[in-house]
Every structure is written in C-alpha cells, then in structure tokens.
Structure 1
Amino acid sequence: MGFINRKQLSNSLRYIGVGVKRIPRVIKELKRKGFHFFGLVIPIIYILGLHYTTFMTRGFAVKLLGSITLGYFIWEQLRLNVPAVSEFCVKMYGHMMREKEKDRMNGVFFYLLGSTICIYFFHPLIAVSSMLFLIIGDFTAALVGISYGRTKIGNKSLEGTMAMFLVCFVLSFAMFFNQSLGEHIAFWGSLVATLVELFNPSFVDDNLTIPIIGAIAMKYMTVRLGVELPVYSNSL
C-alpha cells in the first residue's frame, strides 16, 4: 500500500466512520491482509483456464499448485532453519507476518496447501468458492471487525462475523447462480466457513481450515440435495 498516502488513507477511514483510535490498527491490517489478495490469482486462473483453455485441467492444476506448494514448503524450512534466509525474509516481508508466524510455517503455505487439496478433491465451483471464502471473506471479517466491531464473540466480533457471512454468501451464490438450488449450497457453505473463522482453534491455521471445511459443507449439500454440477470437458 505504499502508493497510498497514509494521511489520505486515515482521512478516508475517518470519513467512513472508523474511530480515530482504531485507524492505526486498521491500516496495519490492510497492509497485511491486502497482500493476501494476490491469492486471487489461483482461483481466477483456475476457473478461467477451465472455461477458455484446453491445457487447464484439474489434474494439471493440482500438479502445478502442488509443485508450488512443495517449493514454498522448502523455502519456509530454509527460513526457519537458516539464519541468512531468515534475515532476508524479515527484511522483505517480515512486517506482514504475524508474530507467531516468525518461528513457524506462515499462512501462505497453508493457503497453498488448502487450495491444492480443494482443487484435487472438489468440483471447480466448490473449490473456487472455498478459496474466495478465505481470501475475501476472511479479509472482510478482519477489516469490519477491527473497524466497527463492538459486540465481542471471544476475540472476534459479531459485526465482522456477519460481514464475512454476507460476503461469502454473495460470492458463492454468484458461483452457483445457474445451478439448481444453488442458493442452498451457497448459504450452508458460507455459514460453515464463517463459523470456522469464528471458532477456529489457535493451533490450526485457518488458511487451511476455512477453505477445506467450507468445501466439505458445499459438497455435502450437493449430495444431500441431489444437485448435479456441470461437467467441464477438460476437467479430470
């Protein structure tokens, strides 16, 4: 967010009703979570590739993303065990890491792993929706909670939770709009993903649990409702 003047950003946040005392934390969260929007590259390339190319298949996507995940796992092991690599990472992107991530695998690895698992096991519409739950839904929960949250639920807020559910539902409903009973799939997937974000145990990274458990919920609903999702000619 270096292209945005901090003063202008602060003024904009005050304009939309964010309290003055909350602004520094909101800006910090925007910098950290904003980076996560690069994760949109995966679902966008995947779904567009299935629609408009012949080389993109679930098998190809799993192999490619699995290779990237493995490479990132190796990089993380070097960061955690080689001082020179650790020092480099702290200088480059240490400000975007949570304190607990500095001596353990960070959220990017778990996002890559979760995305790979979702693409391998679930229909493309379900896989993409579950990734959006994490990238956009979780971001919304954090931003709204920090900016406007007043009703606490543990260390989260009711306002952030409601915002995440609404965003997740809109996104997934758009994905399933042309499918029979798609609103039911979207509703329950969004609700489950939101509850996972709200009650996720601290010892498990929610970059892994939100997409996978959300995808399981949507898959269950398709089976329970007898919904036949479209078959992509270049899928597995």
Structure 2
Amino acid sequence: MSIQQQFEQIGGKFLTPAERIAEALSSIQCYIFDWDGVFNNGTKMDENGSPFSEPDSMGINMLRFSHWLKHGRLPVTAIITGANNKYAHQFAKREHLDAIYINAKDKRTTLSHLSEQFNISPGKSAFVFDDILDLNAAELCKAAFCVRRDSSVLLSDFILRNKMCDYVSANQGGNHAVREIAELIIGLIGNYDDCVNNRMAHVGVYSDYLNQRNRIDAQFEDMKGK
C-alpha cells in the first residue's frame, strides 16, 4: 500500500498527489506551524492559552531529524500564532525551535519577516494551518497542510475548491493532527524507518542531531501592530 493510500484510508485528503508533494518537499528549508487549532482544538485552558501534546512534540522532533538525515542540516522551524500563547512560547523554548511569532494578525507580513530574518523564501517553506487567518500565508508557501475541523464546513469547502493546501488531515486539532502531518512528510521524504531506528538507538547519528538541535535558542518576536 502506498503512503497516499495509507493516509487516505484513515480519512486524509490529498489535493495534490503524494508524488508531487514529495517533489515540493525536496526543496523545503523551513517548517512553519500555526498554534491554536493545530496543536490543540483552540480552546483556551487558562491564562496560559491552549496546550500541546507529547505525540505532536515527538512528531515535530522526528520531522526535524528526518530533514537533518536527508539534507545534513537542520530546517528552520517556527510557530506563527495570532495570539499571545504562553504554552506555545514554552513549547518553542523546550523544543529548541528557531522562532515563535505572537500576535501575528497578518500572517503574510509575519511570513515576510521570517523570510528576511532567516534568509529563506516562502517558496522554500511548508506551512501547517487551520483557519482563515492563515490563508494569505499558506498560498505563498511551497507546501501547505490544513488541519481538519468538522465545524468549519464552508471554510473547508473554500479551501478544497480553491486548492489552498496540498493535504487536509484526517485528525482534528487536539487529536494529534500535527503528528499525522509530520509522519506524512517524513514518509514522503522517504526515511521514516531510519528515523525510528536511530531514535531507538539514541546514540550516534541521533545524538549528533540532538546536540545540534539543543544549541538553538528560540527567538521571540511580538508582531503586535505590524
């Protein structure tokens, strides 16, 4: 069974054939994630905002490791959120992401800021998103992955009709959609077994990757008023 068939079997929707997504991923240098509705269902738990899950965390770590194995370097990995979310900030710091942008009400502007900051064009970026606020950035990225939400009936139809992404997840935010999308990308990169085997060993190649990753300090950018 092909990777596309496996993900279609659980309910994923490919707006772009898997082979073409794989071609696009070969030039990706940056992975960008929205927060609310992507890592969670968007519900604010307390003053810290909305949380994340460990399966999603592992997914992002393995995605970065997959990229590192394939290209010999770490990808830029960032969170762009329209809110000020303390859990997102904690996650970016803990996982040694490259950057987190908060209060990003115009994500196209934020994407431009990120591109200049890290010298990476949107044409070499992949974006994982879920809502209207994200669309003007998603359409600029080389690859885009939408997290499904059953309640957004007309938005889902709009995204499908206008082909605003390459893949719509089977799982919703809060049910490990990030993990699903990360595993899809790793599968299309073509080194899933290598990632798992090296992570199981936790020495050698994976240790080298982890040492590089852990030297990154997440940059914090407040886009309020920008």
Instruction: Output the TM-score relative to the length of structure 1.
Output: 0.28
> Radius of gyration: which is bigger?
1
Instruction: Output the TM-score relative to the length of structure 2.
Output: 0.29
Larger RCO: Structure 1 or Structure 2 (Cα < 8 Å, ≥ 6 residues apart)? Answer: 2
More helix per residue: 1 or 2? Answer: 1
More strand per residue: 1 or 2? Answer: 2
